[in-house]
């Protein structure tokens, strides 16, 4: 599956007092790119499905390489690297003009909205992810 690239502008709300993007915001950028990647596959409700199932992050690892700064134009990148019966593994990054600023891996799982237990993804979604 090809990678998805989401343009992002850094606003003052994204930065610390020194004008550098606050570290947790990279995870927010990752989230937006994952959501838009899934949406690009035709899945409109990417967090909560019609039957009440919920996608949740079960693990995230991130490495910071170079800081982003106020008013930078960035791209948040998401790529599906593996999908199982109930999980999706993503490779993600944030880049500026071809330079990787942060990179990481995120795993999400489909869970039952009431019990929180893992749930098999619908066959159609699994097929879209492979």
Residues forming the active site: 16
Kindly state the average pLDDT of the residues 1-12.
93
**Confidence band, pLDDT 50/70/90 cuts, at residue 45:** low
- In terms of pLDDT, which residue wins out, 94 or 44? 94
pLDDT per position as a tens digit, 55-85: 899 999 999 999 999 999 999 999 999 999 9
Helical (H) or strand (E) element with 5: strand 4-9
Determine contact, residues 119/85, Cβ cutoff 8 Å. no
For 4-129, CATH gives: 3.10.129.10
Percent over 70 (pLDDT), the chain: 94
């Amino acid at each position: 599956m090809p990678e998805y690239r989401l343009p992002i502008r850094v606003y003052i709300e994204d930065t610390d007092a020194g004008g550098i993007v606050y570290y947790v915001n990279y995870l927010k950028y990752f989230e937006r790119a994952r959501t838009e990647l899934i949406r690009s596959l035709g899945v409109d409700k990417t967090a909560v499905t019609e039957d009440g199932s919920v996608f949740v992050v079960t693990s995230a690892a991130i490495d910071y390489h170079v800081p982003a700064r106020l008013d930078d134009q960035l791209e948040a990148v998401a790529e599906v690297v593996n999908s199982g019966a109930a999980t999706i593994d993503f490779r993600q990054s944030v880049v500026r003009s071809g330079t990787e600023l942060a990179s990481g891996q995120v795993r999400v799982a489909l869970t039952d909205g009431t019990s929180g237990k893992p749930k098999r993804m619908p066959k159609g979604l699994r097929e879209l992810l492979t």
